[in-house]
Chains A and B, each alone.
Chain A
């Protein structure tokens, strides 16, 4: 039986995916800004953040009303609670993109370019893919894809650790560029956090589809 409620749930999904697409574009633009030392692109990111913030509030409100007016159960309830959590993660991802742009203004845009930005762009590519995959997994209710996002997070963490070690070495060797290296460490943190939020989205998708809470590996805790 097709329910009127399903239309409202579909609208909720569409809004969330729209918000996710904007957040993904914001990461892409933040990296473009870094690569091209392009201040104009950072302005676009700041503009997008305003839209994301509005959607953050709008989606939460939508979820609250659906819960209050329909008293959802089971799969419906899991979809709506997952949407609320994903909503928060997407908002935080957008914040990280904004934060990354702001960091670029301190020194990276102003001083002689350093080649090590490639460490950051490499991490950004993974973060962006993780976000895209987690949103696709949400859209298609695809648990396998959500699990792949969890695997990618390990690669992302490995790159973050590697970047940190290299940048600390560089700081010691070439103090004249230390400000830029510190900023790159900050950016690596932004990219890693984006990956973590995408991981949360993927975990929410698994819960939404299977009703299985895999967070913190509590489901595999020794009995």
Chain B
């Protein structure tokens, strides 16, 4: 039983313990024995991690620990870097995304990524969100307007923008731009959202609002968030993985990781004695 569990969780665990194994839903995304080399530098070492469905999973660790690298392996963004060598498997609903026949456009539609700095296209807000469905030919005409509205509503941007959808995306505030980028992902109906420091370019108020939005999105999507901000990981995630020097040191319920981590290296990092 996890020492960090609340009394309710304890009771729940006691009650559900016998069937826990069987009841645990399969991982949406799973890394198995994953190694990644940038030339001769090994950035990931035998990483095994399973991302649970409709949950926010946080990856934490000091700079250079591999947390962003592993996030990028989840939709094969590292393929773009010369000299990268990857061994092991990344399974999306049980199928290896590094298998030769994988279609990268489809993969990145299913597994979308949000970056540190908002990166809207230099076109209107509407066109940013409509872009995905257009290129994937999933909608047009009034359907497209419906998708744009739905996607903007999901990130709480619709009320702000409904009368000025023609506004250039780059004229929006940084927070609105980040929401817009997330709406742009949602428009192509992804299953998993990867977020690489999504709030690091935002002020604390905007950060709090984006965190609220992420919590809402969790009801529909499986989310993996990389963050330097441990308080953020503690606030938003349900499970947390701690990375150090390319290794995944510890993976567990966020409540347990932040109250009673099992590995002394995790303890050192999250109490600020190291890193």
* Residues of chain A having any CB pair with chain B under 8 Å: 1, 3, 5, 71-78, 207, 210-213, 218-219, 221-223
Contacts and interface: CB of A to CB of B under 8 A. Distances in A.
Nearest 5 pairs of A and B residues by beta carbon: A211-B260, A223-B17, A211-B3, A73-B270, A73-B258
A223 B271 contact: no
B271 A75 contact: yes
Contacts of B271: 72-76
A11 B198 CA distance: 38
Contacts of A5: 272
Scoring B3, B10, B14 by chain A CB atoms within 10 A of each residue's CB, the highest score goes to B3
A74 B260 contact: yes
12 contacts: A1-B273, A3-B273, A73-B258, A74-B260, A74-B261, A77-B259, A78-B259, A207-B3, A211-B3, A213-B3, A219-B1, A223-B18
Nearest to B268: A1
A221 B10 CA distance: 10
Nearest to A223: B17
Given A78-B260, A223-B14, A223-B17, A73 B3 contact: no
A9 to B, nearest CB: 10
Nearest to B10: A218
Interface residues of B, number: 21
A30 B256 CA distance: 43
B274 interface: yes
A207 to B, nearest CB: 8
B230 interface: yes
Contacts of B1: 219
Contacts of A1: 272-274
Nearest to B256: A211
A29 to B, nearest CB: 39
Interface in B1-34: 1, 3-4, 10, 14, 17-18
Interface string B54-90: 0000000000000000000000000000000000000
A74 B258 contact: yes
Contacts of A71: 231
Given A74-B260, A219-B1, A3 B14 contact: no
Contact of B267 (A74, A212, A221, A222): A74
A73 B234 contact: yes
Given A210-B260, A211-B3, A218-B10, 8 more contacts: A72-B271, A73-B271, A74-B258, A75-B267, A77-B258, A210-B3, A211-B4, A223-B17
Nearest to A214: B3
A218 B9 CA distance: 12
Given A71-B231, A72-B271, A73-B271, A211 B259 contact: yes
B14 A221 contact: yes
Interface in B217-275: 230-231, 234, 258-261, 266-267, 270-274
